[in-house]
């Protein structure tokens, strides 16, 4: 680690600036060969030896507070920026530097939960990668059956929502009534960052099974009225938290509308991966003073019905639950709880991650679908429920702003449940 530390200092020196590519290449080679414990030591090095100087930051902040002019603000900004940011910028000059930094961040994310003291180092990685991977640098490509085999293999490997069961399954997802689009970055040639799968349909779908059935018949283009985003997968774990999907959804929708002018509806069929976990831990409804009394009472009764069916702790969720055979009162209780979870909790720390993604992108909470995903994964995550989010391209900016202000825009069919 001493050699790595010395190379880092050389790279940041004035002499290193003049010969940065060669030094960065040597350093990158060393870093990528480190074992897990050695990489952790490197992250600790970044935290302890390449952070900002607290004294300089304090002095600059005091000068700015006393006289808040442009010069003092520039000085404060320079003092507050950790030297490790410049170190990573220079490391990025090496051949393969961007891919190497993405790989390092993946390793950092893997230890962050047990090492929260490295959060500032992670924030610097995310800050830089968010700049380097902003929408202006990304290139969208349609993936089809003629795409290189290596790319198709990557699609199969990284499908994170609805697993692709081999080449036959993939071929159906690339038929004329389906689309797959991927985003690429010039510094990672041939490596998709994220991809989205779309079904072109006559109606907004209520279940995932027919969309991913490899034996289903392909529909004629004249029937296309609705474009449904049914899977979005990130291929680069090292880019977690770097916003890519928002731009991809909008660009894909605009591309499809040019290809099929008759398309009027753009929606998703999305999982609710956090629902069962939330149901187990949503606590005492009587203590929820933020809810209207009548709604609080109804939610409490609904939750009590679940406990009577699955046990007081809900530990048996989902057990052998079969949505198709559920009694009406249990279905009503679950749909009410799901509507509250998506329509109210999405602006809190308890939010479902998929809901936060789409609602934050300016979608509307449109419809909750019963028995929409009866796979083992679907039952485990959400007792088979799925949801449609609606993207109105003319309304997404306003809805995004409303979500940022703490409001979830929901269709009437959702608000009526509450």
Residue for token pair 């890519």? 244
Tell me whether strands 139-143 and 178-184 are parallel, antiparallel or unpaired: antiparallel
Nearest in space to 341 (alpha carbons), one of 291, 393, 404, 293? 291
Report d(CA 181, CA 53) in Å as an integer: 45
Whether 358 is catalytic: yes
Report d(CA 115, CA 109) in Å as an integer: 10
CA 66 to chain centre: 42
Report d(CA 335, CA 338) in Å as an integer: 5
Tell me whether strands 226-234 and 194-201 are parallel, antiparallel or unpaired: antiparallel
Per the residue annotation, which of 162, 185, 309, 358 is the catalytic one?
358
Per the residue annotation, which of 270, 346, 382, 410 is the catalytic one?
270
Q: Which residues neighbour 175 within 8 Å (Cβ) at sequence distance 6 or greater?
A: 218
DSSP 13: S
Whether 270 is catalytic: yes
Report d(CA 328, CA 175) in Å as an integer: 38
Which active-site residues does the annotation give?
Answer: 270, 358
């Amino acid at each position: 680690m001493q050699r790595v530390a010395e190379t880092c200092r050389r790279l940041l020196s004035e002499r290193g600036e003049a010969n940065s590519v060669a030094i960065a290449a040597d350093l990158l080679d060393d870093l990528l060969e480190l074992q897990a414990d050695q990489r952790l030591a490197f992250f600790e090095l970044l935290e302890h030896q390449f952070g900002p100087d607290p004294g300089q930051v304090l002095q600059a902040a005091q000068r700015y507070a006393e006289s808040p002019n442009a010069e003092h603000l520039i000085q404060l900004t320079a003092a507050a920026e950790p030297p490790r940011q410049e170190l990573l910028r220079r490391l990025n000059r090496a051949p393969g530097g961007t891919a190497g930094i993405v790989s390092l961040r993946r390793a950092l994310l893997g230890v962050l939960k047990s090492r929260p003291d490295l959060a500032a180092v992670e924030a610097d990685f995310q800050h830089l990668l968010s700049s380097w991977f902003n929408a202006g640098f990304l290139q969208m490509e349609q993936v089809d059956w003629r795409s290189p085999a290596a790319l198709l293999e990557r699609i199969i490997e990284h499908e994170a929502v609805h697993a692709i069961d081999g080449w036959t399954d993939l071929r159906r997802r690339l038929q004329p009534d389906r689309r797959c689009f991927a985003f690429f970055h010039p510094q990672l040639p041939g490596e998709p960052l994220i991809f989205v799968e779309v079904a072109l349909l006559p109606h907004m779908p209520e279940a995932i099974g027919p969309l991913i059935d490899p034996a289903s018949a392909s529909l004629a283009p004249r029937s296309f009225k609705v474009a449904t985003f049914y899977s979005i997968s990130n291929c680069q774990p090292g880019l977690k938290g770097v916003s890519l999907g928002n731009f991809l959804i909008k660009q894909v929708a605009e591309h499809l509308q040019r290809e099929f002018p008759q398309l009027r509806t753009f929606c998703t069929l999305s999982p609710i991966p956090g629902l069962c976990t939330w149901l187990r831990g949503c606590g005492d409804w009587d203590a929820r003073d933020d809810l209207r009394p009548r709604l609080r009472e109804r939610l409490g009764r609904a939750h009590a019905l679940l406990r009577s069916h699955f046990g007081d702790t809900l530990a048996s969720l989902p057990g052998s639950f079969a949505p198709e055979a559920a009694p009406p009162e249990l279905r009503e209780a679950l749909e009410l709880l799901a509507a509250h979870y998506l329509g109210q909790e999405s602006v809190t720390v308890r939010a479902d991650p998929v809901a936060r993604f789409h609602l934050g992108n300016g979608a509307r909470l449109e419809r909750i679908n019963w028995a929409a995903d009866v796979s083992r994964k679907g039952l485990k995550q959400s007792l088979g429920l799925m949801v449609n989010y609606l993207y109105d391209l003319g309304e997404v900016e306003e809805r995004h702003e409303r979500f940022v202000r703490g409001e979830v825009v929901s269709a009437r069919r959702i608000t009526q449940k509450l």
